[in-house]
Structures are given as C-alpha cells and as structure tokens.
C-alpha cells in the first residue's frame, strides 16, 4: 500500500494532467473551429445539395461516469433509411449518401465533435464513446473505460480506422462487432487509461493523422 503522501502526490499529478489536457483541448478546439470554418461551410453546402435533411446529426453516446450526451457529426446518411441498424457496413451501405461516403472515408464527418470538446463532454484523445445498447453489454472490468472522458481518437480508433470495411465482409456484422471488435477496442482503451499523459496524447494525434492519410 502506498503511503498517504505518495497517494496525494499521485492524485495531484492526475489533477494537473487533467487540467493541462482541458486547457489544451479548449485552446486547440477553438482555434481549429475558426480555421476550419470555411471547410465547415463547404461541407455543409455539399451535404444540403446531396440529399434532403439537415447538415448535422446528433447521436446519443455514453460518456464519462456512464452519463449520456449528444455527439455531433456531419450527416452522412439519408434522413429516413429503411434499415435502422446502429452499425454501418462500408461504402456499399445503402443508407450512406454520396457525400457521406467521402466524409467517412477521410473522417471529416467527425469534425463537429470539436463542439463536444468545447462543451466539455469530449476530449481530443480518449476512448471513443459507445452507444448505450453496447455499453449495457460491458462487464464490470470493461466498464472502467468510462472512468475517463471520451475522445475523438485513441488507440482503438487507429487500430479500427477501417472498421466499416471489416463489417462489410462478415455475414452477421452486429454479432461480429460485439464478439470480436468491442473486446479488442476495450483492450486498447485500457491501454490508454493505464498510460494517460500529454506525450501519449500527442503521439496518438500524430498517428491518427498518419492513419487517415494512408487510408
């Protein structure tokens, strides 16, 4: 057992890391929104001309401490698709619009989550937030991934950057996602939780950009 003074030192260090991370998130997200505002306008125009519906979609996700929040994305699917499944399975998925396919390929649909960062329910780096349906399947050990703020990217995002392509090639996408992908994602999430620092965050951000460019 660690001495009380050592525990206090650890707790103080964790608080400093969280504060530094929040300052970084706010500063970079605010600048990114300003710099990317022309791109936001351009994407919005393409979405509106491509199909009926709004520019953004709001999806309920489970965040820090099991609390639900609305995650923002650029709309990439038709407003009233026939199939209401939570999973999309590659560019052949009939629910995805033409513009939506392009946005998903380069992860541009995730850009509105800069707003989530400003609101404080997401960070740049952290476990990707999941829908309640799948979180309810977590074990007591797996639920620990909700002990940190969710993020736009993490080790699991890098590893499963082509997740929709993986699901496209299986007979039962949802079962494959639950049985194969979720456990591996959580393993990567726990890896991040146990080695959570600003240097790690910077490395993940760089690898994420590289991964998207390669795709």
Read off the pLDDT of residues 136-193 as tens digits, 9 standing for 90 and up.
Answer: 999 999 999 999 999 999 999 999 988 888 888 788 888 999 999 999 999 999 999 9
Assign 86 a pLDDT band (cuts: 50, 70, 90): low
pLDDT score of 2: 43
Q: Name the strand (E) or helix (H) holding 24.
A: helix 4-35
Q: Which residues contact 147 (CB under 8 A, 6 or more apart)?
A: 64, 65, 193
**Contact at 8 Å (CB) between 110 and 161?**
no
Assign 9 a pLDDT band (cuts: 50, 70, 90): very low
Evaluate the CA torsion angle 123, 127, 131, 137 in order and state its sign. Answer: negative
Average pLDDT value for the chain: 88
Q: pLDDT tens, 88-131?
A: 555 567 889 999 999 998 999 999 999 999 999 999 999 999 99
pLDDT score of 7: 39
DSSP 53-100: S-SEEEEEEE-GGG-EEEEEEE--B-SS-S---S---STT-TTB-HHH
Q: pLDDT tens, 25-53?
A: 999 999 999 999 999 999 999 999 999 99
- Its pTM stands at 0.86
Report strand pairing: 123-125 vs 151-153.
parallel
Q: Read off the DSSP letter of residue 170.
A: S
């Amino acid at each position: 057992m660690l001495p009380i003074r050592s525990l206090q030192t650890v707790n103080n260090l964790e608080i400093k890391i969280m504060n530094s991370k929040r300052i970084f998130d706010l500063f970079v997200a605010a600048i990114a929104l300003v710099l990317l505002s022309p791109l936001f306008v351009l994407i919005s125009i393409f979405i509106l001309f491509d199909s009926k519906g709004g520019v953004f979609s709001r999806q309920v996700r489970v965040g820090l401490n099991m609390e639900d929040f609305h995650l923002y994305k650029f709309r990439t699917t038709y407003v009233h698709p026939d199939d209401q499944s939570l999973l999309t399975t590659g560019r052949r998925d009939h629910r995805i619009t033409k513009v939506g396919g392009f946005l998903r390929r380069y992860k541009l649909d995730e850009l509105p989550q800069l707003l989530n960062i400003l609101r404080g329910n997401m960070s740049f780096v952290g476990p990707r937030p999941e829908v309640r349906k799948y979180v309810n399947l977590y074990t007591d050990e797996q639920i620990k991934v909700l002990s940190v703020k969710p993020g736009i990217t993490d080790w699991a995002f890098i590893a499963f950057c082509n997740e929709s392509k993986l699901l496209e090639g299986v007979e039962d996408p949802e079962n494959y996602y639950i049985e194969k992908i979720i456990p591996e994602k959580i393993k990567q999430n726990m890896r991040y939780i146990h080695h959570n620092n600003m240097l790690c965050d910077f490395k993940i951000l760089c690898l994420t950009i590289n991964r998207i460019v390669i795709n």
